[in-house]
Amino acid sequence: MSENTPITVAYGDGIGPEIMIATLDIINAAGAKLDIEVIEIGENVYNRGNDTGIEDSSWDSLLKTRVFLKAPITTPQGGGFKSLNVTARRTLGLYANVRPCVSYNPYVQTKHPIMDVVIIRENEEDLYAGIEHRQTDQVMQCLKLISEPGSEKIIRYAFEYARANNRKKVTCFMKDNIMKLTDGLFHKVFDKVGEEYPDIEKENWIVDIGAAKLATSPEAFDVIVMENLYGDILSDVTAQMTGSVGLAGSANIGDKCAMFEAIHGSAPRRAGQNSANPSGLLLGAVMMLTHIDQPEIAAKVHNAWLKTLEDGIHTYDIFREGVSKQKVGTKEFAKAVIERLGQKPKELKEVEYKRFDVKSNPANDYRNIKKAKKETVGVDIFIHWTEGTAGELGEKLRNVLAEGLQMTMISNRGTKVWPVGKVEPFCVDHWRCRYESVKNGEPITHNMIVEQLSKLHEAGYDFIKLENLCTFDGVPGFSLTKGQ
Ligand code: NAD
């Protein structure tokens, strides 16, 4: 049987083929044991009328090899085309995006000479679930979903990554001062999972001030774990801070599959000129080699690459008079790295790798978790209404009630507007009416909710959605309203 590991490779568009050839030349010369299957993705596939940019038959290869080394692709302009990265993450269950951002001072110019940060971004949940609705003329909604198992998977991955890579600290960025339930859950899971890693320092930051600190003092951070949206934004910012987008690789990890790539795009204007920097894809390939249990080869490639940077052999994007020695093209850069295989950097920090298995699966499946005692204690019914003021709506609706219910407040964009306060607030056409039991705090039934919807419908109100207000083991699972 072959000792080689099967992987799937896509050469991509624009500069993709050039940087992929350079990357494969280097890792093959280092002794990587690979059986490569090539698939076609990107522009040509989109232009053949496939809106996903990947043929169905290519999934067979990906689901067989479970390892994908992917060059950047060009997403055609105009609507109707789906992002291949989003499709791949969803289809292959790639829940963790890992992006090391390192400064190579003084060889690559950067405002932040001391920086060695790994951003670990949750890839499947949050506002990226793609659940959006237009509810009224004036209001659109995007649903933010954060689950306990999803949070546990990514946070455990971050701690395992830190431990396996000799990292000392994991920081959690979130905004639970505002999003007390969703980001509050992420924070709580971080604290809970963190207890299992006494050897690793833990800290948390509210994302806004944390991002400000990261942008000015990146040396204060080590591994940072974040929800999807914060991670999307801050991983790009952090990579750019190192000096060039051409330098960072990224891994997308799932329980069954993994995808490795550069963080940059296909740079179409550079295509075919032998000028692009292959380093981002090469560092993606280095992460792939640790993942497929070839850590020695990964370290050999990475150290030769560091030595090449140190020797001043630079592509145009990082070339600087006085620091660089030789401006080279993609092919010449690859040749220089190959010549240095077996060498180690003298000034930059040498890397060492070991294989790590991440046990990030939450212990509990949703079918066998211990369920909390759940009671429905109210309902928020949302109404599309444009006939008058908040006070007038309150007066009309206070008598449109199912038996046993009282209306306790109306809010507009989250701010309480009825009972009316001292100032008539600015409102839009989207009203949330809260109904609770006439016996304060008592549970209500689903039939009462259905009856309330009927009453509203009969009275001519256009209800657009509802959210039940539940307690779980007596703890409210809903937020109070601003002003309530
Ligand atoms: P880009 O990353 O391709 O280019 C941004 C800038 O960085 C350009 O000036 C480019 O010349 C430079 N650059 C990028 N990679 C470089 C490298 N390896 N060496 C030297 N310079 C490099 O971003 P863009 O121009 O916004 O996007 C171009 C195309 O890439 C678009 O179609 C976009 O959709 C696609 N894209 C694909 C991916 C992916 O496949 N993962 C990611 C981002 C963008």
15: left (phi over 0), alpha (psi -120 to 50) or beta: alpha
Instruction: Give the count of alpha carbons within 13 A of 438, CB side only.
Output: 7
Taking only the tens of pLDDT, the chain with its 484 residues reads 468 999 999 999 999 999 999 999 999 999 999 999 999 999 999 989 888 899 999 999 999 999 999 999 988 877 778 888 888 888 899 999 999 999 999 999 889 999 999 999 999 999 988 899 999 999 999 999 999 999 999 999 999 999 989 999 999 999 999 999 999 999 999 999 999 999 999 999 999 999 999 999 999 999 999 999 999 999 999 999 988 778 999 999 998 899 999 999 999 999 999 999 999 999 999 999 999 999 999 999 999 999 999 999 999 999 999 999 999 999 999 999 999 999 999 999 999 988 776 766 666 677 888 899 999 999 999 999 999 999 999 999 999 999 999 999 999 999 999 998 778 789 999 999 999 999 988 999 999 999 999 999 999 999 999 999 999 999 999 988 766 5
Q: For a pocket test of ligand 1, which of 264, 274, 281, 318 has the largest count of ligand atoms closer than 8 A to its C-beta?
A: 264
Ligand 1: which atom is nearest the Cα of residue 261? 41
Instruction: Give the 3-state secondary structure of residue 298.
Output: helix
SS (H, E, C) 107-171: CCCCCCCCCEEEEEEECCCEHHHCCEEECCCCCEEECCECCHHHHHHHHHHHHHHHHHCCCCEEE
Please check whether the two domains, 1-92+244-352 and 116-241, share a CATH topology.
yes
Q: For a pocket test of ligand 1, which of 84, 266, 279, 315 has the largest count of ligand atoms closer than 8 A to its C-beta?
A: 266
Amino acid letter, 392: E
Q: Each residue of 149-187: b (16+ CB within 10 Å) or e?
A: ebbbbbbbbbbbbbbebebeebbbbbbbeebeebbbbbb
78: left (phi over 0), alpha (psi -120 to 50) or beta: left
Rounded distance from Cα 262 to ligand 1 centre (Å) = 10
CA gyration radius, the chain: 27
Q: For a pocket test of ligand 1, which of 245, 250, 269, 283 has the largest count of ligand atoms closer than 8 A to its C-beta?
A: 245
Q: What are phi and psi of 33, to 5 degrees?
A: -100, 100
Instruction: Output the residue whose Cα is nearest ligand 1's atom 36.
Output: 265
Q: Each residue of 262-271: b (16+ CB within 10 Å) or e?
A: bbbbbbeebb
Rounded distance from Cα 71 to ligand 1 centre (Å) = 11
pTM for this model (two decimals): 0.92
Instruction: Give the 3-state secondary structure of residue 291.
Output: helix
Rounded distance from Cα 436 to ligand 1 centre (Å) = 53
Rounded distance from Cα 104 to ligand 1 centre (Å) = 21
Rounded distance from Cα 347 to ligand 1 centre (Å) = 30
304 CB burial (10 A radius; 0-12, 13-18, 19+) = buried
* CATH fold label, 116-241: Isopropylmalate Dehydrogenase (3.40.718)
Token pair belonging to 49? 């009328």
Instruction: Output the residue whose Cα is nearest ligand 1's atom 44.
Output: 265
Dist CA 15 CA 358 (whole Å): 33
Instruction: Give the 3-state secondary structure of residue 198.
Output: coil
Looking at residue 444, the DSSP 8-state letter turns out to be -
CB 5 within 8 A of CB 33: yes
**DSSP of 448-467:** HHHHHHHHHHHTT-EEEEEE
Ligand 1: which atom is nearest the Cα of residue 317? 20
Rounded distance from Cα 407 to ligand 1 centre (Å) = 54
pLDDT at 197 (0 to 100): 96
Domain ranges, ordered by start, for the chain: 1-92+244-352, 116-241, 374-476
206 strand-pairing partners: 174
CB 146 within 8 A of CB 186: yes
pLDDT at 244 (0 to 100): 78
Task: Kindly tell me the sign of the dihedral angle through the C-alpha atoms of 119, 122, 127, 129.
Answer: positive
Q: Which CATH superfamily is domain 1-92+244-352 in?
A: Isopropylmalate Dehydrogenase (3.40.718.10)
Instruction: Give the count of alpha carbons within 13 A of 28, CB side only.
Output: 11
At the second CATH level, the architecture of 374-476 is: 2-Layer Sandwich (3.30)
Token pair belonging to 180? 């007390």
Instruction: Output the residue whose Cα is nearest ligand 1's atom 40.
Output: 72
63, containing H or E segment: helix 56-65
Q: Which of 456, 469, 467, 466 is nearest to 399 (CA)?
A: 456
Dist CA 376 CA 93 (whole Å): 33
Residues at CB less than 6 angstroms from ligand 1: 15, 19, 72-75, 85, 245-246, 261, 264-268, 270, 276-277, 280, 317
Instruction: Output the residue whose Cα is nearest ligand 1's atom 31.
Output: 74
Amino acid letter, 298: A
Tokens 């997403």, residue located: 75
Dist CA 101 CA 248 (whole Å): 6
Instruction: Output the residue whose Cα is nearest ligand 1's atom 30.
Output: 265
Q: Which of 340, 217, 259, 227 is nearest to 87 (CA)?
A: 259
SS (H, E, C) 406-428: EEEEEEECCEEEECCCCCCCCCC
SS (H, E, C) 329-394: CHHHHHHHHHHCCCCCCCCCCCCCCCCCCCCCCCCCCCCCCCCCCEEEEEEEEEEECCCCCHHHHH
**Parallel/antiparallel/unpaired status of strands 415-418 and 430-437:** unpaired
Dist CA 328 CA 334 (whole Å): 10
183, containing H or E segment: helix 182-194
Q: CA-CA-CA-CA torsion for 384, 182, 209, 160, nearest 10 degrees?
A: -150
Rounded distance from Cα 265 to ligand 1 centre (Å) = 3
36 strand-pairing partners: 7
